[in-house]
């Protein structure tokens, strides 16, 4: 009998536990139902999160990059980071004038940029460098060398602009990531040069309405290009040179006779192509002079020729009109270039009097003979006293 009573007691305890567990389960269901009614659904939550991140990204992009009080500007009074080009319309490079601006993306690179700077010095040309800031980001040896190169770019009279930190295509990033690419690059450039940049070239040319708004909110002027060279896709300087010539001719047929040249100072073949391109342009000037065309190609020393300020009410991403220097300024540049071209054409013809290169027009022979006459007079003999029928 005692054993029967013990079994009955155990059954009663188990039944009580089962009932309590059931009550607890019901309570949990009610609690979830009650709290779920007051909780937003997952879609609304994600939407709210995206809006918050977008607002944060725009706020970060609009905020001026932190200053670097320990790094005074190394450019002195010269506006190397182009603050006078802030808040402009999108520069496309279009122009009906024969003006050319060299721009170089993705550097500075310790293996190639110093040689490029020497070439530009030798040719008497100034350029605009779009800096990818991961190259100057750390205090490691190579990055320190590339910081020194960036300072040298400024000291030699060139211009500096922002090309992001990591060369990521901005429309594919969320607003916070895109703001980081803009702001961190600006901070690093300012850390090295002493001034923040005001011109921005989107990596890969990647743009969207959102990115344009972010850049414009931060005061940037977007600069694109219209004279590509295809240098990332080839491996020789001759290919780069050939592509540039074809693009220049095609643009001229479309009514844009000059513009902004895009090269990359991270490629050795691109650097090698620069003196070739310069020589080709100067040969074209010889041909223009010989044909009686007095408008020559001019390499610009100042990117502001392409700048047009944004006006209140302009839509985001509005293009600037085709660049056109004031008549007096353009005439002065052309007068100077004609004088330089005449000296170049005579010198080039004299250096190879039996070779029609670099000038292929009828007047090249006149320049060549004039140069030979001067050389002969210097030696005490005149080419005009040559026997009839004597070959040149």
Rounded Cα–Cα distance for residues 130 and 120 (Å): 16
Q: Following DSSP, what letter does each residue of 304-319 receive, concatenated?
A: GGG--B--TTPPTTPB
* pLDDT value, residue 311: 95
Q: What is the pTM of this model?
A: 0.76
> Cα(22)–Cα(18) distance, rounded to whole angstroms?
6
Q: Of the candidates 104, 100, 101, which has an alpha carbon nearest to the alpha carbon of residue 264?
A: 104
Q: In angstroms, rounded to a whole number, what is the distance separating the alpha carbons of residues 75 and 154? A: 6
| Strand, coil or helix: 100 | strand
What is the pLDDT, as a whole number, of residue 387?
A: 37
- Cα 252-253-255 angle, rounded to 5 deg: 65
Which one, of 229, 218, 310, 222, lies nearest residue 263 by Cα? 229
Question: Per CATH, the architecture of 74-324 is what?
Answer: Alpha-Beta Barrel (3.20)
Residue 301 structure tokens: 């020393």
SS3 letters across 151-206 = HHHHHCCCEEEECCCCCCCHHHCCHHHHHHHHHHHHHHHHHHHCCCCCEECCHHHC
Asked if 169 and 206 touch (Cβ cutoff 8 Å), the reply is yes
Please tell me the predicted confidence (pLDDT) of residue 116: 98
Look at residue 320 in the predicted model and tell me its pLDDT: 98
The pLDDT value recorded for residue 26 is 40
Residues of the chain with CATH 3.20.20.370: 74-324
Q: What is the spatial distance between Cα 298 and Cα 100, in angstroms, rounded to a whole number?
A: 6
Q: Which of 45, 60, 43 is nearest to 175 (CA)?
A: 60
Q: What is the mean pLDDT of each run of 10 residues along the chain (392 residues)?
A: 50 51 45 40 43 51 46 72 98 98 98 98 98 96 98 98 98 98 98 97 97 98 98 97 97 94 98 97 95 96 97 95 97 96 83 51 56 56 38 32
Calculate the alpha carbon distances from 229 to 162, 233, 234, 239, 297 in Å: 21, 9, 9, 9, 18
Predicted local confidence at residue 219, as pLDDT: 97
């Amino acid at each position: 009998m005692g054993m029967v009573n013990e079994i009955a007691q155990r059954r009663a305890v188990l039944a009580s536990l089962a009932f309590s567990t059931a009550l607890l389960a019901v309570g949990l269901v009610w609690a979830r139902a009650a709290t779920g009614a007051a909780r937003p659904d997952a879609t609304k939550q994600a939407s709210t999160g995206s809006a918050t991140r977008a607002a944060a990204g725009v706020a970060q992009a609009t905020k001026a990059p932190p200053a670097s009080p320990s790094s005074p500007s190394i450019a002195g009074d010269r506006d190397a980071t182009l603050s006078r080009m802030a808040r402009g319309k999108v520069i496309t490079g279009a122009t009906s004038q024969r003006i050319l601006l060299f721009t170089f993306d993705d550097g500075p690179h310790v293996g190639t940029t110093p040689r490029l700077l020497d070439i530009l010095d030798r040719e008497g040309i100034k350029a605009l460098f779009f800096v990818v800031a991961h190259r100057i980001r750390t205090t490691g040896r190579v990055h320190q060398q590339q910081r020194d190169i960036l300072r040298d770019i400024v000291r030699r009279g060139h211009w500096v602009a922002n090309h992001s930190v990591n060369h990521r295509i901005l429309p594919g990033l969320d607003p916070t990531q895109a703001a980081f690419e803009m702001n961190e690059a600006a901070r690093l450039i300012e850390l090295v040069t002493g001034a923040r940049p005001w011109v921005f070239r989107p990596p890969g040319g990647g743009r969207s309405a959102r990115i344009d708004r972010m850049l414009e909110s931060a005061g940037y002027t977007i600069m694109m290009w219209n004279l590509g060279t295809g240098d990332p896709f080839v491996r020789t300087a001759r290919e780069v040179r050939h592509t540039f010539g074809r693009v220049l001719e095609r643009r001229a047929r479309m009514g844009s006779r000059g513009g902004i040249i895009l090269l990359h100072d991270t490629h050795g073949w691109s650097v090698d192509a620069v003196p070739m391109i310069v020589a080709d342009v100067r040969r074209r000037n010889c041909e223009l002079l010989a044909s009686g065309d007095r408008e020559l190609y001019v390499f610009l020393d100042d990117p502001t020729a392409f700048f047009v300020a944004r006006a209140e009410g302009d839509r985001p991403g509005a293009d600037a009109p085709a660049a056109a220097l004031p008549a007096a300024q353009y005439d002065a540049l052309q007068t100077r270039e004609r004088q330089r071209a005449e000296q170049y054409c005579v010198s080039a013809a004299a250096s190879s009097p039996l070779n029609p290169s670099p000038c292929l027009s009828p007047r090249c022979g006149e320049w060549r003979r004039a140069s030979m006459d001067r050389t002969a007079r210097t030696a005490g003999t005149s080419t005009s006293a040559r026997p009839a029928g004597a070959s040149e």
